[in-house]
Structure formats: structure tokens, C-alpha cells
Homo-oligomer: A and B are copies of this chain.
């Protein structure tokens, strides 16, 4: 299929947002946000680096690529609205597989009301899917990593490590007969960005937010560094799905702390706003757990500490990173 046929096949006939003035079909797309700030991010996924056809069907690849981008919008408190796809397609990928990637994106785009407004499809030797997402947020209301303050409650949404556990089930023979496989696989392949909860937080004036793409250890360190503050995490409070219990202790800990791509949110609010945050979580059907707090101590600012039965250790940002 040539580029034009591919673009025609995925072109939306109707856009979900009135802000889209011109979608696919010219040199560029045009959209309008009169009263809001535009939030934008790009994420790139490479076959055999970020995913493998052994563990993900093309549909899941598409779904998860866009999920990662949507999660970036949630982490900014923004409403995701439109996206542009860039795909490098190798010869050994069939048109059907390519279509399935798109169908995966289209599925999550429908769920989160996104419009596909542009793209570029080119040939290459290795599948690369890169998505640029655009969202909107009330003026000056984007949520930054630098907004943590002393005394804040540190929280996460959902449960941690599920995606990494799902991947382990797929890759490691000894886990292949575990129960709750469907749950773990779906968490790995079709994560749920926490957009509604993040938007609900608009009621609260100051919120620091980060999404968990590289594991809580890494993300908490980003918050501590960006806010120049000290963050304290209590290990026993890290929210864990019962499906994780069947893994060896060591793996459980690795999944919980460094398991990437859960696309949950980690953030902080002031102590006084914690009750409100819990109400918003309830209203948006999102589980939320207090896992620690922030302090302002000159000598330790920029660092994260992990507590296990009263024992304190430095938690390094040795999160899940793709090194090849």
C-alpha cells in the first residue's frame, strides 16, 4: 500500500472536536484553542526495543503507543484532543498488520475522544511508530513536576507493577501458568491512562503530577529533582494487585519499584487537599493510595527515600529505561 492509500484508509470522515479546523488532507492540520493552553508531546516506539511481535499483536502496539501519549496528557492535567502518527514500515509487515496497528490506535482514540489529524508513512527496515499528541488545559493550569511542596501527600493511582508482571508472564516460562494472566496481559497491552482523574483534580489549585512510564522509583525522583524537595516513600503502602502475590518476592519488588509502563499517575497535593483528592478519585472511579510525603530538607532535596519496616534507604531513579 502506498502512503496515500494508507492515509486515505485511516482518514476520519468526521472530527470529534470542533477545535479541529482542518484534519488530514493538506500540507498541515489546523486547530484552534481560543481559551486554553495547548499541551503537546511526542513518543516513539521501536520494534524489538519497546515492543516485540512475540508479546504484542499489532492491535496492541497501536493501542499502547497512543496510550503512552494520552498518559502524558493526563500527567499535565490536560484533555487529549488530537494526534499525528508517523510510521516507518518494513517490507515484512503486511498491509493487514499495519491496519491492525491503526485499529488499535483508533480503539483507544474512540475511548478517549481523540481525532487523528495528520501523519506520515514511510518505508524502512525496522518498524517505528511515533505519535505526537495535542491536548488542551485551562490557561496556566498545566500540572508540573516542579509543584511539589513540603508537607505534601504523595499518592499514586491504580496498582503498580502490573504491566511489568504481564510482560514477565509472556517472557518467562516459569510464570506462564500463573493465574490472573488475562488481567496482567491486559494491563501490559492495553493500559488505562488516568485522564478523568487528572482532569477532576482541576478543583485543586496546586497539584504536582507525573505519569508512571519508567517505574515509581524513576518518576518519584523526577518529582524530587524538579521540585528540589525530599520525597519519602513507604514500601508497604505501594498499591499491589493480588495477581502479583504469586511472583517471587524479589520480582514483586522489582515490578513495584521499577516496573515501567503502568501509565498510572504519581503526584502530590497538600495535606489539606488530600480528602478532596480522594473524593475526586471516587467520582472518577479511580483508586488512589497515599504512599508517602514530601519534606524540605536542604541536604537531601532532590532525593527519594524508601522506608521498609522503619528502615530507610536511598531510592535511586534506576527505573526501567530502554537501553540497547
Q: Which B residues are in CB contact (< 8 Å) with A311?
A: none
B2 touches A123 (CB 8 A): no
Could you tell me the distance between the alpha carbons of A179 and B82 in the complex, rounded to whole angstroms?
Answer: 48
Contact with A324, one of B37, B123, B135 (Cβ below 8 angstroms):
B123
How would residues 101 to 130 of chain A score, 1 for a CB under 8 Å from any chain B CB and 0 otherwise?
000000000000000011110111110101
B22 touches A142 (CB 8 A): yes
> For the complex, is A76 an interface residue (Cβ under 8 Å from B)?
yes
Of A43-51, A155-163, A182-190, A296-304, the one with at least 4 CB within 8 A of chain B: A43-51
> For the complex, is A52 an interface residue (Cβ under 8 Å from B)?
no
> For the complex, is A282 an interface residue (Cβ under 8 Å from B)?
no
Q: Which B residues are in CB contact (< 8 Å) with A146?
A: 26
How far in angstroms is the closest Cβ of chain B from A222? 9
Q: Which residue of B lies closest to A125 (CB)?
A: B126
Q: Which B residues are in CB contact (< 8 Å) with A322?
A: 122-123
A37 touches B32 (CB 8 A): yes
Q: State the A residues within 8 Å of B (CB).
A: 2-3, 21-22, 25-35, 37-46, 49-50, 72-73, 75-76, 78, 84-88, 91, 117-120, 122-126, 128, 130, 132-135, 137, 139-140, 142, 144-146, 209-211, 226, 321-324
How far in angstroms is the closest Cβ of chain B from A158? 17
- The answer to whether A38 and B41 touch (CB under 8 A), given A46-B124, A76-B26, is no
Contact with A46, one of B32, B41, B88, B135 (Cβ below 8 angstroms):
B88
A321 touches B2 (CB 8 A): yes
B123 touches A86 (CB 8 A): no
13 A–B contact pairs at CB < 8 A?
A2-B323, A21-B142, A26-B76, A26-B146, A27-B76, A28-B73, A28-B78, A30-B37, A30-B137, A31-B37, A42-B85, A50-B122, A132-B132
